[in-house]
Chains A and B, each alone.
Chain A
Amino acid sequence: MDKVEYKNKKVEFEESAVPKISIDGKPTQVSHDAEANRFNAGELPYRSFKSVKDLAEAIVEQRLQHEQEGET
């Protein structure tokens, strides 16, 4: 697992066809579209990404956005 810090979140990810992402120590559900060679996550409907790292950062961005907006 590669480790980076992104916007004060500890992000761990594995760039492979069996992708893994963990944010602040908690894993999140991700998958690989083998035909498209792109990655997606259960919490980002209707989006896909070229790399697991890009996906992980997008998840962090979305979580921060929701925290800020307090969306209901």
Chain B
Amino acid sequence: MRIRKNAAFLTDDEWARYCNAVVTLKHTFPGGSSVSIYDQFVAIHVCVWGLRFSTSGPAAGVDGAHGEPGFLPWHREYLRRYEAALTAVDPTVSLPYWNWGFGSDGETDDLFQDDRIGPRGGIVTSGYFAEAATAHNPLGWTIHPDLRRFGSALRRTGAASVGSLPSQAAVIEALEKAMFSTFRPALEGGTGLAPGNNGMHNGVHPWVGGDMGAMSSPNDPIFFMHHAQIDRIWAIWQRKHPGVANYNDNNISVGQGHGPNDNMWPWDAGLSAPGALPPAFPFPSADPAVAAALIPTEAAIDLVTPEDVLETEALGYIYGD
């Protein structure tokens, strides 16, 4: 059983191994592909959002991973595959979680150091994820041309509108929600929570800012540590509420991919495909139709539904405290 650790408590050696594995994914190109394994993950996230712009297939017009119940299971499966890719590089590595909400500001500050996830507050110019070669990463970290929100270098220009991370009280309040149907909106966007929630998941993206503010947000490796915390909070909620139907408890009508037994794109045997950005899209963004060409076609038998991923233990991992 793999244990996902609190990033604040990783040793220097664990940080080096983790960051080196991430950099390796960025510079590893599967046979016949001109797109790295890491960038394929970025493209998948752009494309699942891009189902919104599709006009054909059962998921047309539906964001397959946000704003509906599938937000949690889709990202759980996505992270599981990312972690599997990391462990193929280094079997000692597991995906650490960024303990925002519970951890102190000092713990978060410690993450944004050169020998960890790298600095924030502007374009990243040092550490493992700078565009230019550094002592930490001689290969550099360049955002794929078809997956850019801004330029080629990673940006962390935190938005002034989100001054602080979600409070511990807000996370605890979310965990007290008695039903999945109220818990998930609270965790995803702060819906139904007292002031101090700062948008929860949605707010952490602009708090980091820059590339994290777009749907190409996995360009920033902090994305995966942020979502590990989201996944962990869901796992904690599941343990706190045994016996409660932990998905789709109100049988609400949801978009394709969000029903408990719907196959979630891209693990849907090709039922749906992302659409192109509308011609009048108001700002630069990675185009899902272009990004779709960057990812391999999933095998027809590679099918995953929300019901398949409800238990982390069954997926081979737990969270350490």
| Residues in A lying within 8 Å of B, measured CB to CB | 26, 28-29, 31, 33-36, 38, 40, 42-43, 45-48, 59, 62-63, 66, 71-72
Residue contact B278 to A28, C-beta cutoff 8 Å: yes
Q: Is B266 an interface residue (CB 8 A)?
A: no
Residue contact B191 to A48, C-beta cutoff 8 Å: yes
Neighbour of A66 across the interface among B199, B278, B282, CB < 8 A: B282
Most-contacted residue by chain B among A29, A40, A45 (CB, 10 A) = A45
Q: Which of B272-293 contact A (CB under 8 A)?
A: 278, 280-284
Residue contact A45 to B184, C-beta cutoff 8 Å: no
Beyond A35-B250, A35-B252, A66-B282, is A42–B69 a contact (Cβ under 8 Å)? no
In the bound assembly, the distance between CA atoms of A38 and B67 in angstroms comes to 9
Nearest-neighbor residue (CB-CB) of A17 within chain B: B253
Q: Is B61 an interface residue (CB 8 A)?
A: yes
Residue contact A71 to B284, C-beta cutoff 8 Å: yes
Beyond A45-B215, A46-B213, A48-B191, is A36–B150 a contact (Cβ under 8 Å)? no
Beyond A28-B278, A35-B69, A71-B284, is A42–B63 a contact (Cβ under 8 Å)? yes
Nearest-neighbor residue (CB-CB) of B62 within chain A: A31
Residue contact A71 to B283, C-beta cutoff 8 Å: yes
Q: Which residues of A contact B192 (CB under 8 A)?
A: 36
Main SS class of interface, B = loop
Closest chain A CB from B9 CB (angstroms) = 28
Q: Which residues of B contact A28 (CB under 8 A)?
A: 278
24 A-B pairs with CB atoms under 8 Å apart are A28-B278, A31-B61, A31-B62, A31-B63, A31-B67, A34-B68, A34-B254, A35-B69, A35-B181, A35-B185, A36-B67, A36-B188, A38-B67, A38-B191, A40-B66, A40-B67, A42-B63, A43-B283, A45-B217, A46-B66, A46-B199, A59-B282, A66-B282, A71-B283
Closest chain A CB from B117 CB (angstroms) = 19
In the bound assembly, the distance between CA atoms of A56 and B49 in angstroms comes to 19
Q: Is B33 an interface residue (CB 8 A)?
A: no
Q: Which residues of B contact A38 (CB under 8 A)?
A: 67, 185, 189, 191
Q: Which residues of A contact B49 (CB under 8 A)?
A: 42, 45
With A45-B214, A46-B66, A66-B282 given, name 6 new contacts (CB 8 A): A28-B278, A34-B254, A35-B254, A48-B191, A48-B202, A72-B151
Residue contact B52 to A31, C-beta cutoff 8 Å: yes
In the bound assembly, the distance between CA atoms of A58 and B250 in angstroms comes to 30
Q: Is B53 an interface residue (CB 8 A)?
A: yes
